[in-house]
Structure formats: structure tokens, C-alpha cells
Structure 1
Amino acid sequence: MNITVFGATGQVGKRIVQMALNQGHHVTAFGRNVESLIDRDNTNELLTAQKGYLFNEKDVAKAIEHADVIISVLGGASDGSDKTRSLGIKHIVEQMQKKGKRRIVALGGLGVLNAEDNTLILHGEEYPEEYLAVGNEHLKAFETLLESNLDWTFFCPADIKDKEETGIYITSLNYAPEPNHFRINAGDLALEMLKAATQSEYIQQRVGISNY
């Protein structure tokens, strides 16, 4: 399978890239600093590291040219001051639609999941004010996917820890998992996102995820 990863050098993205290569997939890793992914002593012929700019249409179009599935794990400032998450997804979706691509697995945040009253967690009175800005960035990204004709999956974790996979975690659809410990190892998140991408799971669903 040909997989394009946006946000390939982040703590989740770099793990997705390595896991996908280990599984024998062809990976296009996209980013401004993707050189860091290439080990000159152990070059993997399945890896294409494409240096590019997310807001450049030609760069994004080239990155997804041969992709069977796109994985977006875009990050950004925690205060929501940049628009990498929302505008990045917008540019990716536009190019996917132009090229007839269908499958995307993307990373959001806990606030975009449903609360018990079918509002969003983001809009609840108890949602921390310091996370509102970045939560709204995730919401805009989700709305872009929702308005598209794509086969999307939107992962919505709480705190992502820079730790390896354990395989011990729980997922849920559209609501936060129970029990929810409000944390997920980057390795476990990468593992489940790649699994969803390669096995066509959670089509047009939001996914809550938490370590036990």
C-alpha cells in the first residue's frame, strides 16, 4: 500500500512512518524537515522523504499523487495561534478531491467528541479555557472533513505522551472512551491510526482513544 504521511516528523508521525515501513508499505513522508527521517546508513527503499510546504498546492498534490491512503498528524502551537491544523487539512482535502483520492485518517483532539447531551466536549462549561483555541482549530479541521465526500476517520485523543506503544488501550466511536485516563502513548496512537488506515476501519467516524 502507498501511504502519504503529513506531519511525518512529529512524535506520532515519525512512529507511523516507521511502523508502516516495517509492515512493508511504501511511505511518502511530507514536511519541511523530513531529512531527519532518513538514516544514511540504513536507507529504506520504501521511503520517499518529500520536502515541501503544506500551503503549496503543487507540493501537496505531488505528495498524494500515488497514495492509496493519506494520514495527517499535523501539529501546531498549543494556543491555536497558527492555523496549521485547520488550513492544512483544508489544503489536503482540496487536493484529494481534485485527484480523486478518498481515504484520509487525521488527528484531532478530545474536545471534538460528543458530550453526553450530544453537544461537543469542547462546548461544555468544564472544558479548560486554555485548550479552547487549539480545540477550535481541531473543530475546524473536523468540519472540513465532515463537509467533504471523503472516507475520513478523525482520531480525538486527550494528552499525547511521547512514549512507545504498549498495545494496551481502549477506543470508542464519537464519544470519549470509558474508562478514560485522558492520555495516550504516541506509539499506541500511531499503531491504531495506521491500523485504521490500512484496514479501512472507522469510516466517517470520530475515534476516542485512551491508555488503560
Structure 2
Amino acid sequence: MKLAIFGGTGRVGKQVVDMALQGGHEVQLLVRTQQDWMDQPGITAIVGDAKNPEDVAKTVQGTDAVFSGLGTDKTTTLTEFIEGLIPALAIAEISRVVTIGTAGILDSRTTPGVYRFQSGESNRKLTFAAEQHAHVYETFRDSDLDWTIICPTYLPDGPLTKTYRTEESMLPVDGKHISTADTAHCAYTALSEGTFNRVRVGLAY
């Protein structure tokens, strides 16, 4: 399988790249700057901007599925990227897309009908990032794409254990943290095995 990967130099994205290569897949990366590690076999690096629809379209062309580990970066990068991604996927006839979201866009257990970031479950006072991720979810939800959004809670660097809890639409009860490595593993597994179709996946230990 050939994967288009956005955010492949980030804390989670780079590990998804490594897992894909170890799994025998090819990856096509959109990056701002070419780096030495991108010269290894199996990687095609495209230098560009995720906010540029032409660069996004070039990256997905000829691939079978898409992974995005892009964050908000305190800007509208994420939502601008998604607006360019949707038509690019239609042109390339790709339906499968897995992205990293935030636990804030999972459903609240305490306040039915709202996101966690809109309820007392979230400790975050600033909601801009969650609002951006919510826009991505709502865009996917209203599309015909075969999408999955992996929604980790507090995300420190940490080892790969492959032992974690998942729950559709909600954060596992008492979930406090999850490592970047296990988040990457969950995302890669969903991508390579085609699981968690059209759902948000809460992720925690």
C-alpha cells in the first residue's frame, strides 16, 4: 500500500512513517523542508505547504490511503488543509483517511449532546484547537469518506506498549494519558487494517 502522509515530521506522524516503512508500505510525504532521513527507500518527499490545495493534491495522487498528524499550530492550518484535502481525495478516488484529533472532540459523558471541550470534563480553558478539530470531524461526518479520527488524551512522549484502551466516540473511563508511540500504533493499525470506520476513537491507558 502507498500512503500519503501529512504531518509526518511530528511527534506522532514520524512514528507512523516508521511503522509504515517497517510494514513494507511506501509513503509519500508533504513536508516544509527536505530532511536527510527522507532519502531512505520507500519515501517520496514533496516540499510544499499543507494549506496549499495544489500541494495537497500532488501528495495524495497515486496513493491508496491518507494519514494526517497535523495539528492546529495555533493557526487555521488544520482547517485550511482539510478544505483542500476533501476535493483532492475525490479527484484521486481515495476514500480512506485516518487523522489525529483531540480528546476534546469526543462526546461528553457528563453532559450528553456536547463535546468534552464544551463540558466540565476538559481542563483546557482555551478552545481554539478543539474547535478546529471539531470542524474536521464535522466535515468528515458529513462526507462519504471512510474516515477515522484517533483522539488521544494527554500525549507525552513515551514507549510503545501496544497495550491501551479505546472507545468509540468517548474517552475511556479514567483515561489520563497515552504515549505518542502508542497513539501512532493505534493510528497505523486503523490505517493498515481498515478498522474503526467512520468513528472518533478515544484513546488512553
- Normalised by the length of structure 2, the TM-score is 0.93
Once residues 151 and 170 of structure 2 are traced to their aligned partners in structure 1, the CA distance between those partners, rounded to angstroms, is 9
Once residues 149 and 34 of structure 1 are traced to their aligned partners in structure 2, the CA distance between those partners, rounded to angstroms, is 33
Once residues 105 and 129 of structure 1 are traced to their aligned partners in structure 2, the CA distance between those partners, rounded to angstroms, is 25
Corresponding residue for 1:207? 201
| CA gap 1:131/1:184 in 2 versus in 1, 3 angstroms | farther
Corresponding residue for 1:35? 35
* Structure 1 ranges of 4+ moved more than 4 A: none
Q: 1:141 aligned to 2:124?
A: no
Post-superposition Cα deviations, 1:112-136, rounded to whole Å, max 9, x if no partner, equal 1111223211211353353411111
Corresponding residue for 1:16? 16
Aligned match for 2:119, one of 116, 119, 124: 124
| CA gap 1:127/1:76 in 2 versus in 1, 3 angstroms | same
Corresponding residue for 1:56? 52
Once residues 125 and 86 of structure 1 are traced to their aligned partners in structure 2, the CA distance between those partners, rounded to angstroms, is 25
Once residues 176 and 34 of structure 1 are traced to their aligned partners in structure 2, the CA distance between those partners, rounded to angstroms, is 36
| CA gap 1:163/1:36 in 2 versus in 1, 3 angstroms | farther
Corresponding residue for 2:77? 84
Once residues 165 and 100 of structure 2 are traced to their aligned partners in structure 1, the CA distance between those partners, rounded to angstroms, is 16
Once residues 97 and 77 of structure 2 are traced to their aligned partners in structure 1, the CA distance between those partners, rounded to angstroms, is 17
Q: Over aligned residues, Cα RMSD in angstroms?
A: 1.5
Once residues 126 and 194 of structure 1 are traced to their aligned partners in structure 2, the CA distance between those partners, rounded to angstroms, is 28
State whether residues 9 and 34 of structure 1, in contact with CA within 8 Å, keep that contact through their aligned partners in structure 2: no
Corresponding residue for 2:147? 152
> 1:44 offset after TM fit, Å?
2.6
| CA gap 1:127/1:146 in 2 versus in 1, 3 angstroms | same
- Normalised by the length of structure 1, the TM-score is 0.90
State whether residues 2 and 26 of structure 1, in contact with CA within 8 Å, keep that contact through their aligned partners in structure 2: yes
Once residues 187 and 157 of structure 1 are traced to their aligned partners in structure 2, the CA distance between those partners, rounded to angstroms, is 11
Corresponding residue for 1:175? 170
> 1:36 offset after TM fit, Å?
4.9
Once residues 121 and 168 of structure 2 are traced to their aligned partners in structure 1, the CA distance between those partners, rounded to angstroms, is 21
**Structure 2 segments unaligned to the other structure (5+ residues):** none
Quick one: which amino acid aligns to residue 163 of structure 2? I
Corresponding residue for 1:106? 99
**Structure 1 segments unaligned to the other structure (5+ residues):** none
The DSSP-based 3-state class of the residue aligned with 2:30 is strand
Post-superposition Cα deviations, 1:20-61, rounded to whole Å, max 9, x if no partner, equal 0011101112120242532xxxx4321111111112222111
Quick one: which amino acid aligns to residue 77 of structure 2? T
| CA gap 1:52/1:177 in 2 versus in 1, 3 angstroms | same
Quick one: which amino acid aligns to residue 98 of structure 1? I
Corresponding residue for 2:182? 188
Taking only the aligned residue pairs, the percentage that are identical comes to: 29
